[in-house]
Amino acid sequence: MPKKGDVVIPLSNKHKVIPSYIDSMQKNKPSLEIFDEKTVVFLEALSKAFLQEKEYNEIVALGFWLRKAHLKKIKTQFLHKHQGEILFPRGTVFHIAPSNVDTIFLYSLILSLLVGNSNILRISDKTNEQLERILIIFTDTLQSHPLIAQHITLVRYGHDDAITQKLSSLCDVRIIWGGDATIKHIRTIPIPATAIELTFANKFSFALIDINNVTINDEFFERFYRDSYTFLQNACSSVRCICWINNSKEKKELFWKGFESFCAKKMPQIEPKQTIDKLSTLTLLASEEKKEITYTKYFHRIKFDNINKIDHQRHCGFGLFYEVDIDSLDTLFTYATRKNQTLCVTGISKEAIIASMQKNRTRGFDRIVRLGEANNFEAIWDGYDILSSLIRIVNVDL
Amino acid sequence: MNEDIFLLDPYALKKEEKNALMVAGLCELTHLHQEHCQAYANILESFGYANKNYGCIEDFFALPVRIFKEIDLLSSKEIVKTLTSSGTTGKVSTIYLDKLTAQLQTKALIKIMQSFLGKARLPMLIIDTKEILQDRNHFSARAAGVMGLSNFGRKHTYVLDASMQLDIGMLKDFLSKYKDQPILIFGFTYMVWEYFFKPINENKIDIDLSNAILFHSGGWKKLEHLKVSNALFKESFQKVCNLRRIHNFYGMVEQVGSIFVECEAGHLHTPNFADIIIRDPLSLEPLGMHQEGLIELCSLLPHSYPGHVLLSEDRGVILGEDDCACGRKGKYFSVLGRIKSAEKRGCSDTFIK
């Protein structure tokens, strides 16, 4: 298995010096088609293997996402969109994955593989049990799919600009999975003039709730809990702020009381340090101006009297909920910035939301999903159609 | 505050008397800071403590101590001194003292130290360098600690040079000069171990410290890393230089003066004008004796900044109250170390250090 601090290409079971290996990797390999049957067969095998890993929720979710029916749906949508077009893979995609959402690199890789690209993946040298498990399953499955293996190079290294520079010089697409400081830094390292880049910056996500149109029950709490406590609010798509639309204080308190009991059953793991982080953040926010703060064992709430006062930067996660009352959807969509990613909705119609977004030409929110689906990865993410960004479309005009 | 308290032995008050005194004192301080520190008033109001009735010390709002690293909190316009913490995380706490608070800190420290040292000022060996006392108006926590303790000694001898080298000649001269009388040694725990004990031990320097009383403080974080416990620390000094009277103490720059000193029985003691509470790290509910949790510190000294009730990031446990073998009254406890940082998960920056 990969060793810390080394450049390791586990697929070849040999430690090789990057430049020579990468250069030879580029040549003489049979190419993959867009939605190549061999790729689909490989991904099915991978899905089955991941679905066995019952003790790792994130791995199972990945296996579920990879299941045959879902890939078929992705394929149908893609082919429909590009009907009649002449398409080719872009070539080599260099994925720079974050170290703390273990499965992101695979979503990124799979989409790229589906449209026939060769891939270089940089995985952080920081490790954990789940990541190692993923890598074992992944490399094991690849052993029986040698043709696919030729299109994937896993590279593991720490903070080494020389390696990043070499790999960047070889790619046709570079994908940087945030945060902002990482993107800023990697962007100082050039890619070829013909290459393109996709970046996924730090984002801040909301829930939009009309409590009057919701049945307050455990199923509702479960969905709210899943969107906030998975990754303890530290994913870009995690719900950190709740927008209540014309909801009475009584109704909201009813929700929170119920959610408190729900959390007491769930018992999320929050470390002492994280409680202190929350308390310090709240104290700091309160010191500037009087606010309404409520605290319970598993979550803390702070109410902002104006949506524009919401402080993205200071939100620390770990069960901290910002709250704001709005009287119309327009308030939310005129406020929204590029920094807002997911809006988890319940109790409000799709039509009303789309109408308000369009009317206000909103600059924010890349995903509008049902509450409970904040962390479901989709091929359209952060405003990109990832699949379509990874192909080359030839304009044939004869 | 009623300064009559300084007439008493600092460990004289038993549970009921002490609680009454603490509650009255903390109440007075809370109102004082609410009136003179807008940020503090905003915080209390936001957390629903604006018009609270306080019946016991557990009822007060504890400021998370990290807040002093984030913002300036002060309740007085007549600041005579600022203290800063020697932060290991980059950010630094700043504490503002007026004349009254500085005086109270000195008085409190005198009362506490006299309980262990007696009233005479002893020849004093300081395990540090003179260099730290450059700016007299703006002290680092280290300099403030040295200055505070210096009041209890005379013939102050700084035994380290600017590069933290032990001056063995100077040490031997000092010891031979005062060999027939008690001497006081003070330093920060890590420095005492690293720059005093270690060179003595490694170079097999033959010295006898049986007449010395060592006071040391400053956290065990660095020593934990070196796998040195309080027990090993004491044992080593006893074995190598026959030093038996060793007192660790716990305190923080946010509450200078009201320190918690380890007694002859090995327990940290709360003096009359300070107290501690142990809280559950998740619910923040107060815990009972022998239950481990976060340490909250109360002190009647801070008049120029709202630092009278603080929630620390240290773990501790109360071992008893009013019944320590050493005879001192009040709660006694031990500190179990700093709470640990957990790995953050989510899409934050991890590629760049």
pTM of the model: 0.88
pLDDT at A191: 97
- Nearest residue to A327 (alpha-carbon basis) of A355, A349, A307: A307
For residue A376, tell me if it sits in a domain.
Answer: no
Helical residues (DSSP H) of chain A, grouped into ranges = 18-25, 37-51, 57-65, 68-81, 104-114, 129-143, 146-149, 161-169, 180-186, 218-229, 249-266, 272-288, 329-335, 350-359, 386-389
Nearest-Cα distance to chain B for A68, in Å, is: 28
Nearest-Cα distance to chain B for A391, in Å, is: 26
pLDDT at B3: 81
**First-residue to last-residue Cα distance in chain A:** 53
Q: Same domain for A185 and A224?
A: no
Mean pLDDT in residue range B307-333:
96
For residue A4, tell me if it sits in a domain.
Answer: no
Query: Around Cβ B224, how many Cβ atoms within 10 Å?
Result: 12
Nearest-Cα distance to chain A for B280, in Å, is: 9
pLDDT at B291: 97
pLDDT at A9: 45
CB contact under 8 A, B340 and A200: no
The interface predicted TM-score (ipTM) is 0.89
CB contact under 8 A, A288 and B342: no
CB contact under 8 A, B343 and A124: no
Q: Same domain for A142 and A81?
A: yes
Q: How far is CA A118 from CA A138, A312, B33, in A?
A: 16, 37, 64
Q: Same domain for A350 and A215?
A: yes
CB contact under 8 A, A286 and B46: yes
For residue A159, tell me if it sits in a domain.
Answer: yes
Q: Same domain for A185 and A310?
A: no
**First-residue to last-residue Cα distance in chain B:** 48
SS3 track for chain B: CCHHHHHCCCCCCCHHHHHHHHHHHHHHHHHHHHHHCHHHHHHHHHCCCCCCCCCCHHHCCCEECCHHHHCCCCCCCCEEEEEECCCCCCCCCEEEEEHHHHHHHHHHHHHHHHHHHCCCCEEEEECCCHHHHCCCCEEEHHHHHHHHHHCCEEEEEECECCCCCECHHHHHHHHHHCCCCCEEEEEEHHHHHHHHHHHHHHCCCCCCCCCEEEEEECCCHHHHHCCCCHHHHHHHHHHHHCCCEEEEEECCHHHCCCCEEECCCCCEECCCCEEEEEECCCCCCECCCCCCEEEEEEECCCCCCCCCEEEEEEEEEEEEECCCCCCCCCEEEEEEEECCCCCCCCCCCCCCC
Q: Which residue of A has its CA nearest to B338?
A: A273
Q: Same domain for A197 and A213?
A: no
What are the chain A neighbours of B42 within 8 Å (beta carbons)? Answer: 286-290
For residue A375, tell me if it sits in a domain.
Answer: no
For residue A5, tell me if it sits in a domain.
Answer: no
Rounded to 5 degrees, φ, ψ at B39 are -60, -40
Q: Same domain for A165 and A284?
A: no
Give the pLDDT confidence of B255-298 residue by residue, as tens digits: 988 999 999 999 999 999 999 999 999 999 999 999 999 999 99
Distance CA(B225)–CA(B315), nearest Å, equals 17
Q: Which residue of A has its CA nearest to B71?
A: A284
Give the pLDDT confidence of B58-97 residue by residue, as tens digits: 999 999 999 999 999 999 999 998 888 765 556 888 999 9
C-beta of residue A352 within 8 angstroms of C-beta of residue A323:
no
The CATH number of the domain holding residue A91 is 3.40.605.10
Whether B52 has a pLDDT exceeding 80, the answer reads yes
Task: Fill in the DSSP letter of residue A160.
Answer: -
B51 close to A (CB below 8 A): no
Q: Name every residue whose Cβ is closer than 8 Å to that of residue A222 and which is 6 or more positions away in sequence.
A: A262, A372
State the total domains in chain A.
2
pLDDT at A319: 96
Element (H, E) at A95: strand A92-96
Give the pLDDT confidence of A26-35 residue by residue, as tens digits: 555 678 999 9
CB contact under 8 A, A96 and B42: no
Q: B57 is written with which tokens?
A: 């010390």
- CB contacts < 8 A, A to B, total 136
Distance CA(B312)–CA(B64), nearest Å, equals 6
C-beta of residue B338 within 8 angstroms of C-beta of residue B313:
yes
For residue A341, tell me if it sits in a domain.
Answer: yes
- Nearest residue to B10 (alpha-carbon basis) of B251, B329, B276: B329
For residue A167, what are the domain limits? 10-201+382-394
B345 close to A (CB below 8 A): yes
Nearest-Cα distance to chain A for B203, in Å, is: 38
Q: Same domain for A23 and A171?
A: yes
C-beta of residue A272 within 8 angstroms of C-beta of residue B294:
yes
Mean pLDDT of chain B: 90
pLDDT at A14: 34
CB contact under 8 A, A100 and B43: no
Query: Cis omega before residue A91 (within 30°)?
Result: no
Nearest-Cα distance to chain B for A90, in Å, is: 26
pLDDT at B346: 57
Pick from B46, B67, B72 the residue to mutate for testing the A interface (most A CBs within 10 Å). Answer: B46
Which residue ranges in chain A fall short of pLDDT 50?
1-20
Of A182, A200, A276, the CB nearest to B352: A182
Q: How far is CA A229 from CA A233, A234, A389, B18, B254, in A?
A: 6, 9, 31, 43, 34
For residue A245, tell me if it sits in a domain.
Answer: yes
Distance CA(B259)–CA(B112), nearest Å, equals 8
Q: Same domain for A172 and A274?
A: no
The CATH number of the domain holding residue A216 is 3.40.309.10
pLDDT at A17: 35
Q: Same domain for A58 and A123?
A: yes
pLDDT at A123: 87
CB contact under 8 A, A235 and B67: no
More confident call, A119 vs B340:
A119
C-beta of residue A180 within 8 angstroms of C-beta of residue A371:
no
Give the pLDDT confidence of B135-163 residue by residue, as tens digits: 666 667 788 788 888 889 999 999 999 88
Where does residue A296 rank: exposed (0-12), middle (13-18), buried (19+ CB within 10 A)?
A: middle
- Nearest residue to A332 (alpha-carbon basis) of A300, A305, A297, A357: A357
- Nearest residue to B61 (alpha-carbon basis) of B74, B52, B72, B73: B52
Task: List the CATH code of the domain at B10-338.
Answer: 3.40.50.12780
Q: Same domain for A130 and A102?
A: yes
Q: Same domain for A66 and A158?
A: yes
Sequence spans of domains, chain B = 10-338
